Amino acid sequence: MRLDLPRLKDRFGSVLYYGLQSVYELDSGMVSDEMLTGGNNSTLRIPYEKLHTALSNMAIVVPVKGEKLRLLEGVLMGIPNPVQIIIVSNSDRTPVDNFQLEKDMAQNFAAITNRDVICVHQKDPKLAHAFVKSGYRDLIGKDGLLRSGKAEGMIIGTMLAKLSGRRTVGFVDADNYFPGAVLEYCNLYAAGFAMSRRKDHAMVRISWSSKPKVRDNDLYFSKWGRSSIVTNTHMNKLVSSYTGFESESIRTGNAGEHAMTVDLAMTLGWSAGYSIEPYQLVYLMEQFGGELNTDTPAHFNRPVNVYQLESRNPHLHESKGEEHVEKMIEASLSVIYHSPLANDRVKAAIQNELDKRGIRPAGEEIPVMRKYPPLNTLDYATFRETLRGGGYIPEAARDLELRPA
Ligand code: GDD
Ligand code: MG
C-alpha cells in the first residue's frame, strides 16, 4: 500500500489529529521490490510484510442485524486471511432463526478457508452473565440480556477481540456490497498501525472517497455521507472553539469503518447505538485533551494518534431511509452538544442545525445518549473465566486462557 505521508493537522491536548491521507497504490509490493529503485520520500510505502504483521495482530468485528446473508458472506471473504474474524449478530431468531443461518454460513466459510471464525449473538444469556459477573452491568437491559444497538455489539466484539489475544481491533459493517472495499479497509487499518509510532494508543478512521448513488438515471459518486458532513462540521467547530483557529481537520466524525489498538479500545467510554463513532472523538478530547478536570489526569500525557485514511473503493451499502439518517444526525450531534467541552456558540449551532433540518425544534432539549464506562473497569479475569469453553475464544488463543490476566 502507498499513501500520503501523515501530517499533523490539529492537536487537542494529547489527541493528535492527522490530515486525510490518500491512497496511491493499493498494492506496493514487498520490501525487496524497492531496493533496486531506492524508493521515494514523497509518499509512504507500506510493503506486504509490514501489512501482514499488522494484520496478524488484528481482530475485525462485524456487527450485523438482519443483513442479507450474501452481503455478510462477501464481507467475510474480503477480510484478509491473517485476521481474526468476530461476528456479533443481533439478527432476529424468530419466526426464522436468521442467526442460525448466519452461523451456518460462517462455519462453512471457516471450514473452507481453514480459519477460526467467532460468531456470537448479542442476546446470548452467557454473554450477559459474563458482563454481569465481571461488574459491567450498564449494558444489561430490563430483560436481563445485553441491550440492542450497534455500539453495544461493538462492545461485545471488543471484549472478544481482547480474549482472542489480538493487539488491534477494527470494525467493518456487514451490509457492504463490495468485498474488495472490505479488503481495502483492513489493509488501510494495517497501514495505519504500521505507520504509528504510538503502539499503545492509535486509531485509524476511514473516509470513503466516494459513495455511488443513482441521480437522474445516472451514477453519481458523492463524496460525503449525509450524516458525516453535518457531524464533521460541528466536530470541527468544537475543536476550533479551543484552538482559536477555524479547522476542517476532522473528516471522519461518523466513520463506521475504523480500528484502534485494543489498549485504546479498553480505555474509551462508549455511547449507545450510532452515536459511538463521534463520541470516540468527543471522549478523547474530554479525557485526553487536558481542558477538563477528569478522574484520569494520567491520560493527558499519553498521546493518541488519530489517522484519517481515504479509501479508493466506492462504498456501497444498504440504503436504510431518511428517518434512519435523521436519527443518526441527532445522535451524533447529541454527544457534541452534551459534552462539557461544548460552549454556548457550539450548542446554539447544533440547535439551529437540527431545527433547520426539521429534526427537532430549537426550543426542545436534545436527548442525551446512554453512556457506558470504559471496558478496563470490568474484571477481565472473571469475564474470561465465565466465557471459557463454548466457542468465544479462538483455538489459537486457548493458551492465553491459562495465563493470568
Ligand atoms: N450487533 C449489532 N447489533 N449490529 C447492528 C445493530 C445491533 O443492534 N444495529 C445495526 N447493526 C449493524 C448493521 O447490520 C450493519 O452491519 C452495521 O451495524 C451498521 O448499521 P447500518 O444500519 O448499516 O448503519 P449505516 O450504514 O446507516 O451507518 C453506518 O455508517 C455510518 C457512517 O456513515 C454505521 O457504521 C454508522 O455507525 C456510521 O456512523
Ligand atoms: Mg449501512
pLDDT of the chain, 405 residues: tens digit per residue? 999 999 999 999 999 999 999 999 999 999 998 876 767 889 999 999 999 999 999 999 999 999 999 999 999 999 999 999 999 999 999 999 999 999 999 999 999 999 999 999 999 999 999 999 999 999 999 999 999 999 999 999 999 999 999 999 999 999 999 999 999 999 999 999 999 877 789 999 999 988 888 888 888 888 777 899 999 999 999 999 999 998 899 999 999 999 999 999 999 999 998 999 999 999 999 999 999 988 888 888 889 999 999 999 999 898 888 899 999 999 999 999 999 999 999 999 999 999 999 999 998 999 999 999 999 999 999 999 999 988 899 988 876 655 554
CA of 4 to the centre of ligand 1 (A): 29
pLDDT, residue 319, reads 84
CA of 20 to the centre of ligand 1 (A): 23
CB 253 within 8 A of CB 267: no
CB 139 within 8 A of CB 152: yes
CA atoms within 13 A on the CB side of 9: 19
pLDDT at position 197:
78
Q: What is the DSSP letter of 304?
A: E
pLDDT for the residue numbered 401: 56
Q: What share of the chain is helix, strand, coil (3-state, %, to 5)?
A: 40, 20, 40
Check residue 265 and report its DSSP letter.
Answer: H
Cis peptide before 394 (omega within 30 of 0): no
What lies within 8 Å, CB to CB, of 240 at 6+ separation is 246, 247
Per-residue DSSP letter, 254: T
Cα–Cα distance measured from residue 49 to residue 162, given in angstroms and rounded to the nearest whole number: 24
Residues 6+ apart with CB under 8 A from 239: 10, 12, 17, 247, 249, 250, 285
- In the prediction, which pLDDT does 121 show? 98
Quick one: pLDDT at residue 198?
A: 73
- Supply 344's cell numbers: 454556548
Q: Note the ligand closest to the C-alpha atom of 71.
A: 1
Largest CA distance in the chain: 66
User: 246: Cβ–Cβ under 8 A, 6 or more apart, which residues?
Assistant: 236, 240
- How far apart CA 56 and CA 180 sit, in angstroms, is 19
Query: Ligand 2 mean position to 233 CA, how many Å?
Result: 21
User: At 303, which amino acid appears?
Assistant: P
Cα 256 to ligand 2 centroid, rounded to whole Å: 9
The pLDDT assigned to 400 comes to 62
Q: Which residues surround ligand 2, an ion (CB under 5 A)?
A: 175, 317
Output the ligand 1 site: residues, CB below 6 A.
Answer: 63-65, 67, 88-90, 122, 148-150, 153, 173-175, 225, 227-228, 254, 256, 274, 277, 317-318, 320, 324
Nearest to 171 by CA among 194, 150, 193: 150
Cell of 23: 491512497
